[in-house]
Structure 1
Amino acid sequence: MSANQNLSINSESIQNVYSTFIKNKFIANRRYQRKLVWSIEEKKAFIDSIINKYPVPLVLLAEEGHGNKKYYEIIDGMQRLDAITSFINQEFDIGGEFFNLDSIADTKLLKDNDSLHQENPPLSREICAEFANYPIPISIFQDGSKDQIDAIFQRLNSGGKHLSKQELRQAGNTSKFGTIVRKLASEIRGDSSTTDLIELSEMKKISITNKKLKYGISIDEVFWIKNQILDKESLRQSKDEEIIAEIVAWVSLEKTIRSSSDILDELYGFDQNFTSDETRALSLEINSQIQKINELNLQENIQSVFDILIELISISGKTFNSLIFKSPQQKITRYFQIIFLTFYQLIIEENKSIKDKEKLAKALSEVGDRVISLSAGGGNWSAREKETQIDTFSGYLKKHFKRSDVKDPTSKTWITRLENLITQSSTEQTLYDFKVGLHPFEGEGCQDYKPCISKIVKSLTAMANTDPACIGYCILGIADDQKTADKWASVFSKDCIKIDNSNFFVTGVIDEANKYQKNYDNYFMNICKSIQSEPISERDKSYICENIQSIKYYDKELVILKLESDKSPSIYGEEYFTRHGSSVKKVKASEFHSLFSKFK
């Protein structure tokens, strides 16, 4: 693929498009790309149009990078490119038949080296060859700034046919408000990523899909759908982000505001007609307040309250909808906000903690029928009604809370954050490691935990050498396959917790700590002491020890160790290591220049 001017429009055969795809040169930017890929039915309909030689819409790309490191950021057409490449990669059929891998050179080579497996029955080679030669109209935008690309994207979708109103507000929005809403919404859905730029080939691993697709995150397991707060179409329209945006605004601003579409526009400084460059006053105010509170603290506080609600819902054994109503109701987003904001007020603003989670879960039963009383209808939602209902519900719940002895009572609850780390590890395997614990399951050496700590620390230095400004994680208390989880369960006679949409099982470390090191306090202290004896730089020792976290996933205690890359590569002993997938490899002397040049 090539572009010789600031904007070039040409046609590329599907064969050339696929060749670019397998070289990982198509990049999705999550600042404005949709979070939901097409359903299997939509993918099949698009492929059928190509087979029948119907015209298809233009794909718009922005060329980025220099020299041999060029890639193409997808501005419009991600769903179409994904449908084409997924069909060729045997992920779905057309009329019961699959793309014939012998039709083009790239797929035949992948088939011959066992990178792709031919599903049966295959389509005829003639049909597949015609499909591969079909010309896709492509426009490539060169040398554009981020602002220009964002503007093109918004104008392209300003008619509302492609994107919802909320997606247009979020598209390319880099304000503190827009960023925190986007990050929180992604964390709650479970489709977060460590970076905004993701290879198209990796995008499907964190995409929300329907049951008929074998990859990604099942839409039925997304918090909003699972708890019957939103329906699938509302999630497609990003109504979850509107809920998050209203929550962020309410807990951030020093004044109360009503809820409406025009207020959301003002919070984002969004002007759909592109007639003014002036930032709205409310947008300036919300971003100023977020800066005062600290963006990271605000995000962690909101996410922690979500985690507490998730835990209470789990204890009840019901969905959110069936918990707060005797008979499940439609359109309950306002009820969710009242309950969430009341919990936020009690836990974060008043620094209270829950006395008994099981009793509180029971107290939430049918509160939508008995305690909270909201007026019907859409459109504007008055600030006065919100305040009144929060005060009423707070009064009802207060007997289940007590003054917290801990400065931050939510700091250990990590339900959504842990699940998102698991998801992110599928696209960034190099930066994540998971272990059930420090001690071998059996044998004479099962009392000795230090070899495992040495292995972890060496792996963390290898992760830190991946790139500048990257962070490597090792999480203790997680089995990354069924076999390990079963072995742990047999040794400790306890059950694991399987994480949805993954092959990971949470074991926790308490049982291991009690068995081998008397208690968890000794276990945690010994980790810190052992790290101080490791042959790494004082900077790396300080970073690992200062950032060790003890977190809770439901009733399981876990330990997170991490290391961020420094201004130069991290050394272990007198050697340097890098990580390739899950393997740690020693850097040869001939590779030193390449390693150090990355940190210049």
Structure 2
Amino acid sequence: MAFHRNPNQQDLSWFIDMQTQNRLEFDPPYQRKSVWTYKDKQFFLDTIFNNYPCPAVYLQKENTAKGPLYNVVDGKQRLSTVLDFHAGKIRIGKDFSVARLRGKKFIEISDEDKTHFYNYIFMVEQIRSEAEVDWGEVFQRVNKNQKKLGEQELRHARFDGWLINRAEKEAVDETFWRDVGVSSQAKSARMKDVEFISVLALVLLESDFVGFPQSHIDELYAKYDFDEDQLPESEADIEDAESDDFPDSEFTKDDLKNFESAFQKARNTLKAMEEHNLNRSGFAGGCLV
């Protein structure tokens, strides 16, 4: 079998060693954004110092010219928390369950507590493949089974074509969405802003209302999951070309230009509505979200 799983145990100090050697990759293309709050991080540190169990960490082992590299498939938030604490970036809260640790950074805790920290055991699944594997699909399956990611976060892992990249770029580059409350730090972390922008784009692309059920968005994401550079310039190019010259899509670069024009018009209309009627700021919670 091409796909291999190797369940094992590693203590926390192993992850510190791997990070020191630059052998941990926390942001492979399919990985989601960091979403843990200060409270989440404190809760996990409480888990560590009370020696409670936590879910397994999944690592994709990749052999490189410089040695093995471990892509974090699942467990990014947990590992980032303990590594940041070890690096002095996090201070333990004043209401921490272990009184002697309250208000302290790692360097300030006792040698005994440091030893306890280093020796905390993680269950680890190392996964590798001798053949080409869609690691985004693996990430999606791990997180789908654990039911802890939102639909748009799963799409971020699964798709890498024009639509997802266009929506994510819009959410980052266009300040209007932050001005009207579609995008915020919390919504961006869960990619809710990208989902809203995606639905708006799909309404324009499909000339129809879309968004429910969520599976319908997935189907449309697949439809527009192409590389725009590979699209024909126009319908005439499709008619003149061989059947396998272009992606399995009737979309053209002319269609992209028409979409961009329609999307800009829709955004400008929403801007005008906000400026005239305080569409978002005039109502609690915002009318756009």
Note whether the superposition's TM-score is higher than 0.5.
yes
Partner of 1:240, secondary structure, is helix
Match of 1:324 among 273, 279, 284: 279
Instruction: Name the structure 2 match of 1:49.
Output: 47
Structure 1: tracts of 5 or more residues without a match = 101-121, 189-221, 271-285, 314-318, 335-600
* 2:12–2:119 contact (8 Å) kept in structure 1: yes
Q: Which structure's relative contact order is higher, taking Cα pairs within 8 Å and 6+ residues apart?
A: 2
Query: Superposed, which structure 2 residues align to 1:292-331 within 5 Å?
Result: 292-293=253-254, 323-324=278-279, 327-331=282-286
* Partner Cα distance (2:249, 2:41) in 1: 43
Instruction: Name the structure 2 match of 1:247.
Output: 200
Match of 1:260 among 192, 211, 216: 211
CA positional deviation for 1:15:
1.4
1:511-548: CA deviations, max 9, x gaps?
xxxxxxxxxxxxxxxxxxxxxxxxxxxxxxxxxxxxxx
Partner of 2:210, secondary structure, is coil
Instruction: Mark the CA change 1:84 to 1:240 in structure 2 (over 3 Å): closer, same or farther.
Output: same
Instruction: Name the structure 2 match of 1:165.
Output: 151
Structure 1 residue 150 corresponds to structure 2 residue 136: yes
1:104-129: CA deviations, max 9, x gaps?
xxxxxxxxxxxxxxxxxx11121012
* 1:92–1:98 contact (8 Å) kept in structure 2: yes
* Partner Cα distance (2:258, 2:14) in 1: 46
Instruction: Name the structure 2 match of 1:82.
Output: 80
Instruction: Name the structure 2 match of 1:333.
Output: 288
Partner of 1:20, secondary structure, is helix
* 1:290–1:298 contact (8 Å) kept in structure 2: no
Instruction: Mark the CA change 1:326 to 1:179 in structure 2 (over 3 Å): closer, same or farther.
Output: closer
Structure 1 residue 139 corresponds to structure 2 residue 145: no
Instruction: Name the structure 2 match of 1:27.
Output: 25
Instruction: Mark the CA change 1:232 to 1:60 in structure 2 (over 3 Å): closer, same or farther.
Output: same
Partner of 1:38, secondary structure, is coil
Instruction: Mark the CA change 1:47 to 1:289 in structure 2 (over 3 Å): closer, same or farther.
Output: farther
Match of 2:106 among 69, 94, 99: 99
CA positional deviation for 1:300:
7.5
* Partner Cα distance (1:127, 1:322) in 2: 58
* Partner Cα distance (2:4, 2:120) in 1: 25
TM-score by length of 2: 0.72
CA positional deviation for 1:70:
2.7
Partner of 2:106, secondary structure, is coil
* Partner Cα distance (1:47, 1:228) in 2: 32
Q: Which amino acid aligns with 1:330?
A: G
* 1:176–1:287 contact (8 Å) kept in structure 2: no
* Partner Cα distance (1:294, 1:25) in 2: 43
Instruction: Name the structure 1 match of 2:58.
Output: 60
CA positional deviation for 1:146:
5.8
Instruction: Name the structure 2 match of 1:38.
Output: 36
Instruction: Name the structure 2 match of 1:432.
Output: none
* Partner Cα distance (2:36, 2:5) in 1: 28
Q: Which amino acid aligns with 1:264?
A: I
| Superposed CA RMSD | 3.7
Instruction: Mark the CA change 1:60 to 1:329 in structure 2 (over 3 Å): closer, same or farther.
Output: same
CA positional deviation for 1:248:
2.5
Structure 2: tracts of 5 or more residues without a match = 93-101, 224-246
Instruction: Name the structure 2 match of 1:566.
Output: none
Structure 1 residue 184 corresponds to structure 2 residue 191: no
* Partner Cα distance (2:72, 2:277) in 1: 41
* 1:36–1:236 contact (8 Å) kept in structure 2: yes
1:50-94: CA deviations, max 9, x gaps?
111111111101112334243111111111111011101111111
Instruction: Name the structure 2 match of 1:288.
Output: 249
Instruction: Mark the CA change 1:169 to 1:326 in structure 2 (over 3 Å): closer, same or farther.
Output: closer
